[in-house]
Amino acid sequence: MEPAPVVTEPVAPIESAAASPIENEIPTYRAVSALAVCSLILGLLSILSFADLWFLIVGALAIVTGFWATSRIRRLSDVLTGTRLAHAGIALGLITSLSAVTGYSVQQFFLGRGAEAFARDYVRVLNRGKLADAYWYKQPPAGRKGVSPGKALEDLKRSSREPSTFYSATGNLQNVLNKLAGPPKRTLVFERIEARGMDRLSPYAAALARIDGPPDPKAPNDIYVLINLKSSENDVKKASWWVDDVVFPYTPNSFKPKEAPIEDGHDHGGGGH
């Protein structure tokens, strides 16, 4: 008796790995755009614009690199990612730059307005022709409290061992007052705030004034006076000013801030620019 034949079924061919539905679901790797990362870092650094306006350049770079990164990611979307990082860099650059510029403009407005009001008052003091009153405003506000102009000038005379010391503190004031007294009598007129800014955290301003009247034959060009103002208040809305120096004669538009140590509240005499 012959054995029954063995029936074999055909084996289905194994599908290739490329056709696997599981592997088709694995996303393609995309690199994070270096430009997008750079834009974000620059955007964070642009916050320093509030301390120094030079960092506005960093804010501008954050915006430029952010848009550049966005454009590259759009064109190479299959290999690059990082659009959100680029958008964050652009937003930081825009917000910090605009805020810093706005804050600076507001600061300059209040700084100029306060300095101009004080300068106009001081010009009126000079026109009265009293050295004691003119010198009194060279003291910081705290030094003027409870001290009359006459006493402040007498204290300076007593502390000045030599005439040259007294003249170094009042010489420019005396020259201006003598010029105004004449003969003929002349008048000092406020012109404008020529410069203003911040020295570390302290406001400063330079007020330009003009001597109005007949020219002096001996010095016909000596007609401009520069009044340097300082304040110890970092809040420009509440700045209390004093006269740091008076420069006479002065050439308009030649002001340069003095590089001096931090103000200690004492008057150390005059000094030109």
Chain segment 59-90, per-residue pLDDT in tens? 999 999 999 999 999 999 899 999 999 999 99
Q: Residues 206-232: pLDDT tens digits?
A: 999 999 999 888 888 889 999 999 987
Q: Residue 249: pLDDT above 80?
A: yes
Spatial separation of the C-alpha atoms in residues 58 and 51, rounded to whole Å: 13
In the numeric block, the tokens 């937003």 are attached to 91
Based on the fold, state whether residues 92 and 138 are members of the same structural domain: no
pLDDT category at 10 given cuts 50, 70, 90 is: low
pLDDT category at 26 given cuts 50, 70, 90 is: low
Tokens for 243? 């006269």
pLDDT category at 3 given cuts 50, 70, 90 is: low
Range of the domain at 97: 19-103
pLDDT category at 15 given cuts 50, 70, 90 is: very low
* Radius of gyration in angstroms for the set of CA atoms belonging to the chain, rounded to a whole number: 36
pTM of the model: 0.70
Based on the fold, state whether residues 242 and 135 are members of the same structural domain: yes
Q: Please report whether residue 237 resides in a domain.
A: yes
Helix segments in 76-221, DSSP class H = 83-128, 131-136, 141-144, 149-159, 163-181
What b/e string do you get for 174-190 counting C-beta neighbours within 10 Å, with b at 16 or more?
Answer: bebbebbeeeeebebeb
Which percentage of the chain shows pLDDT scores above 70? 82
Q: Please report whether residue 108 resides in a domain.
A: no
Mean pLDDT of 12-24: 50
For 194-236, give the DSSP string. EEEEEETTEEEEEEEEEEESSPPTT-TT--EEEEEEEES-S-G
Based on the fold, state whether residues 212 and 143 are members of the same structural domain: yes
What total of structural domains would you count in the chain?
2
**Is the distance from CB of 157 to CB of 170 less than 8 angstroms?**
no
